[in-house]
Chains A and B, each alone.
Chain A
Amino acid sequence: MRIKLEARAHTPAAVVYATPVVAALLTAVAGGVLFAALGYPPLQALHAFFIQPLSTLNGLAEVGVKATPLVLIAIGLSIGFRGNVWNIGAEGQLTMGAVTGGAVALAFYDVEGVWLLPLMTLAGALGGMAYGAIPALLKTRFNASEILTSLMLTYVATLFLSYLVHGPLMDPDGFNFPQSRLFHDSAILPVLGFTRLHLGAAVALFVVLAGWFVMARTLIGFQIKVIGLTPAAGGYAGFSQKRVVWLSFLVSGGLAGMAGLFEVAGPIGQLQPSISPGYGFTAIIVAFLGRLHPLGILLAGLLMALSYLGGEVAQIELGLPLAMTGVFQGMLLFFLLGADVFTRYRLRLGSPPAAARVAAAADKPKPAGEAA
């Protein structure tokens, strides 16, 4: 008797949608065990992590604040991932978007006008796009792995931002602190009531809808899916792989750049050496947790936002290190990938008698699923 993974001929839809839920549950269980091992009461810690942040209106708004960049970026990434284009550098594109959009805010410092925010948003998106264009060019021209180039460019972007806030963009009246001026009111996104939930959240919701529409209804979305699923069929149909690479990077880079601008023009309000707690990387998890589907990404983005808040609450309430957030996010991805194996394979114990299989196949050489 041996345990064997057997390829599924057909994956039931229920399994596909159940795996993220299973992964989330396993994460909670493993997290509880981890808390217990560290000497914290597991239920209380889990409560602090997952429930407490949701118990106040402000907490709910904060979930929206954190989910906004995650969802924006993950929608863009998911389009690329569908087309087998692996942009791992959204964090860098986010940073560049914050730089270009933020630079516009600083260039028009103290200039009033309703045009300023749209201009900043456009500049942020273009900055992210331009930064995403680098790995796209390297990929299409030299066939350089976009995974490596986009990832490495992230660190370049972070250092570039650091240079700017230590130099050219440093607040002249800021006592040499490495940060820019605080953006003036015209350059700050409007917020909902007394919360920090800003207009970017509405943009993110719109992007969710637009992402769904593009992937479900348009020819370009269809081309991306075909090339991602079966590149040879894409070639046969005459769809251009290069075009998909470019499109993926421009869209995901642009959305990441916009997310970066929303951060600096929203909750942060200025340029700082660090503007993102790794949204660009976490969005990769969000995209997969959401099954690369816009609606799923919205839900996954909210869950991941919660993990950021939970980490903060757990830090305050229980004195847990902030690294718990990363641990939880990592576990979630780990369990998701693990559970995903079962969408394509099923577990089988032992092997059926050979003779029976021979007979079955000889009788009806029909679809593979039936013979198995």
Chain B
Amino acid sequence: MSPTPRTDADRTESAPPTPRLALHGITKVFPGTIANQDVSLSLLPGEIHALLGENGAGKSTLVKIVYGLLQADAGEIRWEGAPTVIASPAEARRLGIGMVFQHFSLFDSLTVAENVALGTGDRTPMRQLEERIREVSTRYGLPLDPRRPVHALSVGERQRVEIVRCLLQDPRLLIMDEPTSVLTPQEAEQLFETLRRLREEGRTILYISHKLEEIRVLCDRATILRAGKVVDAVNPREKTARQLAQAMIGSDFATPARAAAAAVEAPRGDGLLEVERLNLASGTPFGTTLVDVSLSLHPGEILGIAGVAGNGQFELLSALSGETLVQDARSVRIAGAPAGHLDPRRRRELGLGFVPEERLGRGAVPDMSLAENALLSRGGGADDMVSRGLISFRKAHGLAERIISAYNVVAGNGARATAKSLSGGNLQKFIIGREIMRKPRILIAAHPTWGVDAGAAAAIHQALLDLRDQGTAVLIVSQDLDELFVLSDRIAVMSHGRLSESRPAHEATVEQIGLLMGGVFETSDAWEADAHAH
């Protein structure tokens, strides 16, 4: 399927009504990236319109522009047919645009009604407001007690407060940003009922998600974004989840030929890194709880973990790196040693190398020089940059220079350059180089080429493959399926805090993985279900 930008081939109405909101050629540039490029989109009255795309595809930027939080650099917004500038959220609300954010903005210590009053600037007396909240919440099937304090509400109920707050303003366009990411399936079903009722009233809903099934169930049309551009506009009901996944991930997908040398055997005995039935309750309301995650990683192999961000990867990675300690020390074992209670330094001493997802702000301190950043992951006995608590900056400088030259890092001032002055790709090469230079027995890399230019990505991939060939056990967590297929010997998928069984990469298909990522499987193992095909 080749991308068909901006044509709405699936729509068949003869005389389309005036769109409630039409975007033409919206472009938004941030320093270094183009978040939206020539995005056009029209939303009709009485439809639920999905905005579908992976994390980083530009969905959030686009809705922030619609809601007046950001201003487009180029392009036109038409509201009810008239060109409009939406300068602020207040103006958006005045026009009749409401938005429910993924992360709520509620005051825990105030009641529902007080929160509504604050959020809307409503000056009606509290008694009257409470009455209106009751009325609206019953009309739309969102039961709420206006007098309850927000801290006593469940996450689903808090979302209702946000929705009711929007509905009180009688919006004609309601934007929902990943609303079901925090809901139980039952709560989600209830929410869909509400949204359908709103649609019947002729309101427009812009529904942002990457969950394929719910879009197919709920939405009338879907616009698919990839890398800031509209790649397709479809009727999701006429597409399979598989087709949607393909459009979202990239239809130009081709499985690269792998070096046949990497023979993949069935897992043999205990690996260098063993995770066994790891359970970890999330510390925050928006985190993901890990459920019975098990994996084993062997020397000389690359295990890839696919999945849409926010499905527990962050939690798994921090449990592996030691930034979060887990209850049962034996649920994470490094070279046979129980490591669940060890801090990151100790785990490094056992031979763990770690490349975090956030390269600036976790993997490196933005305001420090590369020489100082070289010190960050020091550890292990042979290390001699620090002796008796004193730092040898000469040695740190030397190490930074060696990393820079070995990994072709382009840095203005060499080891003296601050981390934030490097481009994403160069900083990533530096961080990966720093970890590899420590000669780890296990390397864990999170999203190693996310936002990195093609040249740097190729260099990073090569470095990881070389490391594997030297016998290091490598674990890669990524959203980029191309990357996982290029690198991995085995692939597993993470969804809702669970990790699927792994399967040899050459046997896995994009479709299987896309379905697993979209949460199509929940209990049954999709690998098995698909095995009949082979």
Q: Is A232 an interface residue (CB 8 A)?
A: yes
Chain A residues lying within 8 Å of B390, measured Cβ to Cβ, are: 217-219
Q: Is A195 an interface residue (CB 8 A)?
A: no
The stretch of B300-308, B368-376, B511-519 in contact with A is: B368-376
Report the separation of the CA atoms of residues A234 and B479 in the bound assembly, to the nearest whole angstrom: 26
- Total contacting residues, chain B, CB less than 8 A: 46
Are B32 and A237 neighbours in the complex by a CB distance under 8 Å?
A: no
Q: Is A193 an interface residue (CB 8 A)?
A: no
Q: Is B74 an interface residue (CB 8 A)?
A: yes
Q: Is A366 an interface residue (CB 8 A)?
A: yes
Chain A residues lying within 8 Å of B322, measured Cβ to Cβ, are: 238
Q: Is A371 an interface residue (CB 8 A)?
A: yes
Q: Which chain B residues numbered 440 to 481 have a C-beta less than 8 Å away from chain A?
A: 453
Given contacts A226-B368, A233-B362, A238-B343, contact A358 B29 (CB under 8 A): yes
Q: Which chain A residues numbered 190 to 234 have a C-beta less than 8 Å away from chain B?
A: 217-220, 222, 225-226, 229-230, 232-233
Are B73 and A367 neighbours in the complex by a CB distance under 8 Å?
A: no
Smallest Cβ-Cβ distance to B418: which chain A residue? A10
Chain A residues lying within 8 Å of B453, measured Cβ to Cβ, are: 365
The stretch of B61-69, B353-361, B500-508 in contact with A is: B353-361
Are B343 and A240 neighbours in the complex by a CB distance under 8 Å?
A: yes
Smallest Cβ-Cβ distance to B379: which chain A residue? A238
Chain B residues lying within 8 Å of A346, measured Cβ to Cβ, are: none
Are B33 and A229 neighbours in the complex by a CB distance under 8 Å?
A: no
Report the separation of the CA atoms of residues A53 and B425 in the bound assembly, to the nearest whole angstrom: 57
Q: Is B391 an interface residue (CB 8 A)?
A: yes
Q: Is B165 an interface residue (CB 8 A)?
A: no
Q: Is A118 an interface residue (CB 8 A)?
A: no
Chain A residues lying within 8 Å of B375, measured Cβ to Cβ, are: 222
Chain B residues lying within 8 Å of A219, measured Cβ to Cβ, are: 386, 389-391
Chain B residues lying within 8 Å of A355, measured Cβ to Cβ, are: 73-74
Choose from B73, B366, B386 the contact partner of A357 (Cβ within 8 Å): B73
Are A361 and B391 neighbours in the complex by a CB distance under 8 Å?
A: no
Smallest Cβ-Cβ distance to B372: which chain A residue? A222
Smallest Cβ-Cβ distance to A213: which chain B residue? B390
Choose from A230, A354, A361 the contact partner of B33 (Cβ within 8 Å): A361
Chain A residues lying within 8 Å of B423, measured Cβ to Cβ, are: 365-367
Report the separation of the CA atoms of residues A236 and B353 in the bound assembly, to the nearest whole angstrom: 11
Q: Is A12 an interface residue (CB 8 A)?
A: no
Given contacts A229-B365, A362-B34, A371-B32, contact A10 B421 (CB under 8 A): yes
Are A229 and B343 neighbours in the complex by a CB distance under 8 Å?
A: no
Choose from B33, B363, B379 the contact partner of A233 (Cβ within 8 Å): B363
Report the separation of the CA atoms of residues A275 and B324 in the bound assembly, to the nearest whole angstrom: 46
Given contacts A238-B343, A238-B348, contact A230 B32 (CB under 8 A): no
Q: How far is the CB of B29 from chain A (nearest CB, A)?
A: 5
How many chain A residues sit at the interface, stated as a range, is 20 to 34
Q: Is B344 an interface residue (CB 8 A)?
A: yes
Chain A residues lying within 8 Å of B111, measured Cβ to Cβ, are: none
Q: Is A368 an interface residue (CB 8 A)?
A: yes
Q: How far is the CB of B530 from chain A (nearest CB, A)?
A: 37
Chain A residues lying within 8 Å of B428, measured Cβ to Cβ, are: none
Chain B residues lying within 8 Å of A366, measured Cβ to Cβ, are: 32, 423
Choose from A218, A226, A365, A368 the contact partner of B365 (Cβ within 8 Å): A226
Are A222 and B391 neighbours in the complex by a CB distance under 8 Å?
A: yes
Chain B, residues 515-528, CB within 8 Å of chain A (1/0): the string is 00000000000000
Chain A residues lying within 8 Å of B386, measured Cβ to Cβ, are: 219
Report the separation of the CA atoms of residues A366 and B410 in the bound assembly, to the nearest whole angstrom: 11
Choose from A218, A236, A240, A365 the contact partner of B362 (Cβ within 8 Å): A236
Report the separation of the CA atoms of residues A366 and B393 in the bound assembly, to the nearest whole angstrom: 29
Q: How far is the CB of A4 from chain B (nearest CB, A)?
A: 12
Q: Which chain A residues numbered 226 to 253 have a C-beta less than 8 Å away from chain B?
A: 226, 229-230, 232-233, 235-238, 240
Q: How far is the CB of B334 from chain A (nearest CB, A)?
A: 14
Q: Is A372 an interface residue (CB 8 A)?
A: yes
Report the separation of the CA atoms of residues A223 and B375 in the bound assembly, to the nearest whole angstrom: 10
For B73, B422, B453, the residue with the greatest tally of chain A CB atoms inside 10 Å of its CB is B73
Smallest Cβ-Cβ distance to A233: which chain B residue? B365
Are A237 and B29 neighbours in the complex by a CB distance under 8 Å?
A: no
Are A237 and B376 neighbours in the complex by a CB distance under 8 Å?
A: yes
Q: How far is the CB of B413 from chain A (nearest CB, A)?
A: 11
Are B389 and A354 neighbours in the complex by a CB distance under 8 Å?
A: no
Report the separation of the CA atoms of residues A230 and B389 in the bound assembly, to the nearest whole angstrom: 21
Smallest Cβ-Cβ distance to B321: which chain A residue? A236
Report the separation of the CA atoms of residues A352 and B322 in the bound assembly, to the nearest whole angstrom: 46
Chain A residues lying within 8 Å of B366, measured Cβ to Cβ, are: 229-230
Q: Is A319 an interface residue (CB 8 A)?
A: no
Smallest Cβ-Cβ distance to B344: which chain A residue? A238
Q: Is B31 an interface residue (CB 8 A)?
A: yes
Chain B residues lying within 8 Å of A218, measured Cβ to Cβ, are: 389-391
Choose from A232, A361, A369 the contact partner of B358 (Cβ within 8 Å): A232
Q: Is B27 an interface residue (CB 8 A)?
A: yes
Chain B residues lying within 8 Å of A362, measured Cβ to Cβ, are: 29, 34
Choose from A9, A10, A217, A238 the contact partner of B391 (Cβ within 8 Å): A217
Smallest Cβ-Cβ distance to B27: which chain A residue? A358
Choose from A220, A232, A358 the contact partner of B389 (Cβ within 8 Å): A220
Q: Is B323 an interface residue (CB 8 A)?
A: yes
Report the separation of the CA atoms of residues A354 and B32 in the bound assembly, to the nearest whole angstrom: 15
Choose from B27, B72, B368 the contact partner of A229 (Cβ within 8 Å): B368
Chain B, residues 323-362, CB within 8 Å of chain A (1/0): the string is 1000000000000000000011111100000101010011
Chain A residues lying within 8 Å of B358, measured Cβ to Cβ, are: 232
Q: Which chain A residues numbered 102 to 123 have a C-beta less than 8 Å away from chain B?
A: none
Q: How far is the CB of A177 from chain B (nearest CB, A)?
A: 49
Report the separation of the CA atoms of residues A101 and B389 in the bound assembly, to the nearest whole angstrom: 31
Chain B, residues 374-390, CB within 8 Å of chain A (1/0): the string is 01110100000010011
Q: Is B116 an interface residue (CB 8 A)?
A: no
Given contacts A217-B390, A237-B376, A238-B348, contact A368 B32 (CB under 8 A): yes
Q: How far is the CB of A82 from chain B (nearest CB, A)?
A: 12
Given contacts A217-B391, A218-B390, A222-B391, contact A372 B344 (CB under 8 A): no
Choose from A222, A358, A368 the contact partner of B73 (Cβ within 8 Å): A358
For A218, A222, A232, A237, the residue with the greatest tally of chain B CB atoms inside 10 Å of its CB is A237
Are A229 and B31 neighbours in the complex by a CB distance under 8 Å?
A: no
Are B31 and A237 neighbours in the complex by a CB distance under 8 Å?
A: no
Chain A residues lying within 8 Å of B365, measured Cβ to Cβ, are: 226, 229-230, 233
Chain B residues lying within 8 Å of A233, measured Cβ to Cβ, are: 361-365, 376
Given contacts A229-B367, A233-B362, A237-B377, contact A368 B31 (CB under 8 A): yes
Choose from A10, A237, A358, A367 the contact partner of B74 (Cβ within 8 Å): A358
Chain B residues lying within 8 Å of A9, measured Cβ to Cβ, are: 31, 420-421
Q: Which chain B residues numbered 73 to 105 have a C-beta less than 8 Å away from chain A?
A: 73-74
Are A361 and B31 neighbours in the complex by a CB distance under 8 Å?
A: yes
For B31, B33, B343, the residue with the greatest tally of chain A CB atoms inside 10 Å of its CB is B31
Are A361 and B29 neighbours in the complex by a CB distance under 8 Å?
A: yes
Are A236 and B363 neighbours in the complex by a CB distance under 8 Å?
A: yes
Given contacts A233-B361, A233-B376, A236-B362, contact A365 B389 (CB under 8 A): no
Report the separation of the CA atoms of residues A369 and B364 in the bound assembly, to the nearest whole angstrom: 18
Report the separation of the CA atoms of residues A230 and B358 in the bound assembly, to the nearest whole angstrom: 12
Choose from B361, B376, B421 the contact partner of A369 (Cβ within 8 Å): B421
Are B362 and A232 neighbours in the complex by a CB distance under 8 Å?
A: yes
Are B32 and A361 neighbours in the complex by a CB distance under 8 Å?
A: yes
Please name 11 pairs of A and B residues whose Cβ atoms are closer than 8 Å in the assembled complex, sorted by A.
A217-B390, A219-B390, A222-B375, A229-B368, A232-B362, A233-B363, A238-B346, A362-B29, A365-B453, A367-B423, A371-B31
Q: What are the 7 A-B residue pairs with the smallest beta carbon separation, nearest first?
A: A238-B344, A238-B345, A368-B31, A354-B73, A232-B362, A237-B376, A361-B29
Instruction: Give A residues with C-beta under 8 Å from B.
Output: 9-10, 217-220, 222, 225-226, 229-230, 232-233, 235-238, 240, 354-355, 357-358, 361-362, 365-369, 371-372
A237-B377, A366-B423 known; 18 other A-B pairs, CB under 8 Å?
A219-B386, A222-B372, A222-B375, A229-B367, A233-B363, A233-B364, A233-B376, A235-B344, A236-B344, A236-B376, A237-B344, A238-B379, A355-B74, A358-B27, A361-B33, A365-B453, A368-B31, A371-B32
